[in-house]
Amino acid sequence: MKRVVQQFRLGRLQVEAHPFFEWIDSERVPLEKRFIFSPVMIDFIMGFADMNKWFFHYPTPQNALERAINSHTEEDGTHSRLFYDNWYTLELDDVERWPAGQMLWWMFHSRETTTVRRFGMTILDLAVNNPDPKVRFALMEAIEICGDVFFSHTAPIAEAITRSTGARHEYYGWYHRHRETGHLHADESVFAEAELSFTQLRCAIRAAASVFDNFLRLLDDLLAYSQRAVTSPRQLAADLRSDYDAALAKPPAPGQLALHSATWDVPVASGQVELSQLLRRRVERLQRHPLMQWLREDTTRSAREKLQAFVAAWGIDIVSYKDFNELVLRYPEPGSNDERALNAWVDELASHAVLYLQDWVALDLDGVLGWNSGEVLAFYFLGAQTEPHRHHMSQVKAYAFRYKQPLVRYWLMKAQEAAGEPLFEATRAVAEAVEVSDGVVLDYWAGRHSLRHAPGGGAHELRALQCLALEPSEAERTIIREIIELVFDNMEVLYSETLRDAVSGTFLRTPGSLPPPRLSEIVLRARAEDHSQPLYDQVRRSAS
């Protein structure tokens, strides 16, 4: 472990020397603009709770090392709530006034947030593929060291802002700083005394180095964005608006509609026949879900209201599906025809999310929901309605990170797509009715996803289908069965949640009740000057 500690020291020195910290400490930068970079950090900060809950945490800890890591995750998982509470006092100018649809685009599609989203996926990959607590400790300790350096600079600034304006900044301030010590919130002696094998040592050093390298790249982006936001805010706002408008523009040369019925007309290896049959059975079961009947037969709402009553709940799955494909499923250096075919299919699937954002505008969901930017953060990262969606995607990502062989990746992609088809079969008629009555275009909910593909769309999926000719090992068959059952079990839950939302009409009647509330000012005043005040910590933890 001493060798790993040397890596920690080197990483700390590199982070401390980054020019971002010279910028944030500079008296030339107005005090109220020091945290102007905050929107760039949303994905990592708000996703940190789920990262701790579903990737770092051991469901059934087996030893003192795993129990120590779990103890840390219980504290660290509360920090996303701090950022949400402080979002409204950060004075982020135009960003705070963005409507929900534009915030979704910013969080999951904007160029400015690409690096932080990639950083988050890298951490998840490292966590999944390093279940050994000695290695996972190195990964998490490196994150803590980055946080220790970062918050040592932000806390004095937050305190100065509080003295100047009275606005509290718990996330960037001393409350959080006292919990970012560069160490786990647990007894680290069990790790300090641990002996590492050569393989454990190599994995631990690589994990820590990856965290530091990626964090340095993130600091590059934070510095560049902050400088633009302070020196030329109007130009930055215009550029972001232009990027958003361009992203949502209709494709100039739409491709042809893919015919999914043709996807089964390929040779299937004997070892995959059972898997194909299982998938068919699960699709047919989903087709009988009561949600489909409601979409076809309910007459209490107009077609437009039917869609408005539930589609917002799917925002984090659908809009972030682009990253799932590009940052998780894509092979960075494809080494076979199968991997290249899957990459081409990945590109097509990644393009679908834009159609959802276009439909969002056509359905006027911004007007229906009336959410401000902070409520968008809370709903999609902390909300009860979105937790099943986030949990499902965390499980699917874990399989994708763990199993990189093309055949398993193919079935994971196919299961995900097939589990959505019954919903799109049912929404197609509803969306087409809205198009006729309102004169809008709803390509996503009408199931015209391949319109975002290049001309001849669907050919890449057909090429990927050649994976069905591969003879799987028994281990691969077991994994694929697990994936199919997991995806469809979870989708049944999501369909049931969707039906409940649709029937209740909450998104139509009281959408403001859906994002988790901020902690009241009464609770905030209960905090004593002593940052370890027990009541305050208890309230923070229960709220998260």
- Rounded distance, CA 95 to CA 92, Å? 6
Burial class (CB in 10 A: 0-12, 13-18, 19+), 312: buried
List of domains in the chain: 2-238 (1.20.910.10), 262-507 (1.20.910.10)
User: What predicted TM-score, i.e. pTM, was given to this entire model?
Assistant: 0.91
Token reading at 199: 């393989």
C-alpha pair distances (Å), 139 with each of 52, 184, 410, 478: 12, 11, 29, 30
- Rounded distance, CA 346 to CA 326, Å? 7
How far from chain centre, in Å, is Cα 350?
14
Give the type of residue at 460: H
Closest CA to 171 of 92, 82, 87: 82
- Rounded distance, CA 500 to CA 16, Å? 50
How far from chain centre, in Å, is Cα 13?
30
pLDDT tens digits along 265-307: 678 899 999 999 999 999 999 999 999 999 999 999 999 999 9
- Rounded distance, CA 173 to CA 163, Å? 12
C-alpha pair distances (Å), 330 with each of 111, 341, 405, 453: 18, 10, 12, 17
171: CB partners within 8 A, 6+ apart: 45, 79, 82, 83, 85, 86
C-alpha pair distances (Å), 53 with each of 42, 72, 170: 18, 11, 22
Reading the chain (544 residues) residue by residue, the pLDDT tens digits are: 889 999 999 999 999 999 999 999 999 999 989 999 999 999 999 999 999 999 999 999 999 999 999 988 877 767 888 899 889 888 776 777 899 999 999 999 999 999 999 999 999 999 999 999 999 999 999 999 999 999 999 999 999 999 998 888 889 998 777 766 655 656 677 787 888 999 999 999 999 999 999 999 999 999 999 999 999 999 999 999 999 999 999 764 444 444 444 444 678 899 999 999 999 999 999 999 999 999 999 999 999 999 999 999 999 999 999 999 999 999 999 999 999 999 999 999 999 999 999 999 999 999 999 999 999 999 999 999 999 999 999 999 999 999 999 999 999 999 999 999 999 999 999 999 999 999 999 999 999 988 877 665 555 676 777 888 889 999 999 999 999 999 999 999 999 999 999 999 999 999 999 999 886 443 555 554 444 445 445 545 555 5
Other residues' Cβ atoms within 10 Å of the Cβ of residue 351: 21
Burial class (CB in 10 A: 0-12, 13-18, 19+), 27: exposed
b/e for 359-392, b at 16 or more Cβ within 10 A?
bbebbebbebbebbbbbbbbbbbbbebbebbbbb
- Rounded distance, CA 393 to CA 378, Å? 18
